[in-house]
């Protein structure tokens, strides 16, 4: 067995916890690779949700499951807190786990596990919103989020979007600070295609990372659709979404 260990060095600056994980796995006869090795059976991700998101983009392409150990704050995607990390690793090595497949999105050739945002901070923009090439609405807002069920607990939730169950197959479109009281979030099917046409230049942000600019024009738009890739998240003690939300003080 080969296991990759990926550490957010801001969360473990001295790499002391990383060394504990490495030594434990080596003591179990596991071959270790430090980093995103693509021939690993799974990756151990030491960090928080941001680290998990960054790893998920690469891991999904190579069909590699992720086991997250939370060294950060929220840890929606991680399986265990730091103090339980070695116990969780022991369970995985004993095949006492499940693998959750999480839907991902694709936009501008990039993968998103959480969301795609088109817009700009601190200023109203105008967008034509299409679903399956049909004009749904022209929206004045700071931006528009298209989120997966996983991403429904992130930026979309902060913007007033609904919670979706993690394993469901759907998307939520959430306007950010809409200028109209009648504009509301919309849940659509996973097979639907979204196109956002900006009337002014806007930022494109995927899973919190600015990746480019959306240029205005009627024939130019950002297309968002379900990816053929899924993120695989290892869970040793699957918890209901509502339990996680209560634990994280969201409910």
Is residue 84 annotated as part of the catalytic site, yes or no?
A: no
CB 154, CB 117: distance < 8 Å: no
Question: What are the C-alpha distances in Å from 145 to residues 55, 141, 195?
Answer: 21, 11, 12
Q: Name every residue whose Cβ is closer than 8 Å to that of residue 211 and which is 6 or more positions away in sequence.
A: 108, 110, 204, 205
Question: What are the backbone dihedrals phi and psi of residue 230, each rounded to the nearest 5 degrees, phi first?
Answer: -120, 150
In a 13 Å sphere around the CA of 229, the CA atoms on its Cβ side amount to: 20
Distance CA 33, CA 251 (A): 39
Dihedral of CA 53/57/61/62: which sign? negative
Q: Determine the 3-state secondary structure of 167 from DSSP.
A: coil
Q: Which residue in 23, 41, 49, 79 is the catalytic one?
A: 49
DSSP annotation of 180 reads -
- Burial level of 206, CB count in 10 A (0-12/13-18/19+)? buried
Helices first, then strands: H and E counts in the chain: 5, 17
Residue positions annotated with a catalytic role: 49
């Amino acid at each position: 067995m080969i296991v990759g260990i990926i550490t957010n060095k801001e969360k473990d600056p001295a790499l002391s916890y990383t060394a504990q994980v490495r030594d434990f796995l080596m003591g179990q006869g596991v071959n270790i690779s430090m980093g995103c090795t693509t021939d690993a059976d799974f990756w151990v991700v030491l960090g928080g949700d941001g680290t998990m998101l960054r790893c998920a983009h690469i891991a999904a392409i190579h069909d590699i499951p992720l086991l997250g150990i939370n060294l950060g704050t929220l840890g929606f995607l991680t399986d265990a807190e730091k103090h339980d990390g070695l116990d969780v690793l022991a369970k995985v090595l004993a095949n006492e786990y499940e693998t959750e497949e999480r839907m991902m999105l694709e936009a501008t050739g990039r993968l998103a596990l959480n969301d795609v945002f088109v817009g700009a901070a601190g200023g109203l923009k105008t967008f034509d919103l299409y679903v399956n090439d049909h004009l749904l609405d022209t929206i004045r807002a700071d931006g528009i989020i298209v989120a997966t069920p996983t991403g429904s607990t992130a930026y979309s939730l902060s913007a007033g979007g609904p919670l979706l169950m993690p394993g469901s197959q759907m998307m939520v479109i959430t306007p950010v600070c809409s200028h109209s009281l009648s504009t509301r979030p919309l849940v659509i099917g996973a097979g639907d295609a979204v196109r956002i046409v900006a009337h002014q230049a806007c930022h494109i942000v995927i899973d919190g990372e600015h990746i480019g600019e959306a240029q205005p024009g009627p024939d130019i738009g950002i297309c968002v659709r379900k990816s053929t890739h899924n993120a695989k998240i290892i869970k040793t003690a699957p918890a209901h979404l509502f339990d996680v939300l209560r634990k994280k003080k969201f409910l």
